[in-house]
A and B are shown apart, each in its own frame.
Chain A
Amino acid sequence: QAQLQESGPGLMKPSETLSLTCAVSNYSISSGYYGGWIRQPPGKGLEWIGSIYHSGSTYCNPSLKSRVTISVDTSKNQFSLKLNSVTAADTAVYYCARQKDGSGYYFDYWGQGILVTVSS
């Protein structure tokens, strides 16, 4: 079954740029799925950040769009997230997930998540 694994820094300072990578295994990122990023602040609900198709087309949460860049590297079977100008409000567990194209755009496989803390 599909496996996804997030990697990146666990601790950041305000104003820095968060960079996360999602390594995908047991399926090809070019096989008709989106790669999505979702985050969850401590004790709160899920917030979609954005999604990318293997072609490079992206969809982003309008509330984060100005700070978000999502990219894909099909040769490495991975996709990445950059979130600039982070603040304490960006402290959250960040998940990557495989997202079905069309018919509901649901997330059928999720990574284990990575806690990112923004603190001075």
Chain B
Amino acid sequence: SYELIQPPSVSVSPGQTASITCSGDKLGDRFASWYQQKPGQSPVLVIYQDRKRPSGIPERFSGSNSGNTATLTISGTQALDEADYYCQAWDSSTVIFGGGTKLTVL
């Protein structure tokens, strides 16, 4: 079955750029989406179709997808960006989520 692999944790200093990766076989051949989840809250879509931002998502969130890796990039990371982030793709009529990455802003 298809798998998406994310690093368990990423740390970044305030104001710096955070990059969270999501790896899967030929992931670049399919669309990747990203969700942000803060403690006790529902996930929020922050990137869809590799690089598109839903209305209301700050411009500092961006995405890319090529080869076997999709990347969520947060520029000028703020303390309020501290959260869990999940990638998601669609394969053979199945939704797949990555295991999630905890982003720590310190």
Binding site for B on A (CB under 8 A): 36, 38, 45-48, 51, 59, 61-62, 95, 99-100, 103-108, 110-113
Contact = CB atoms under 8 A, between A and B. Distances in A.
Interface residues of B, number: 27
Which residue, of B44, B48, B93, B95, has the highest number of chain A Cβ atoms within 10 A? B95
A62 B94 contact: yes
A53 to B, nearest CB: 12
Contact of A100 (B48, B50, B97): B48
A110 B44 contact: yes
B48 A108 contact: yes
Contacts of A105: 90, 95
Contacts of A107: 33, 35, 43, 45, 88
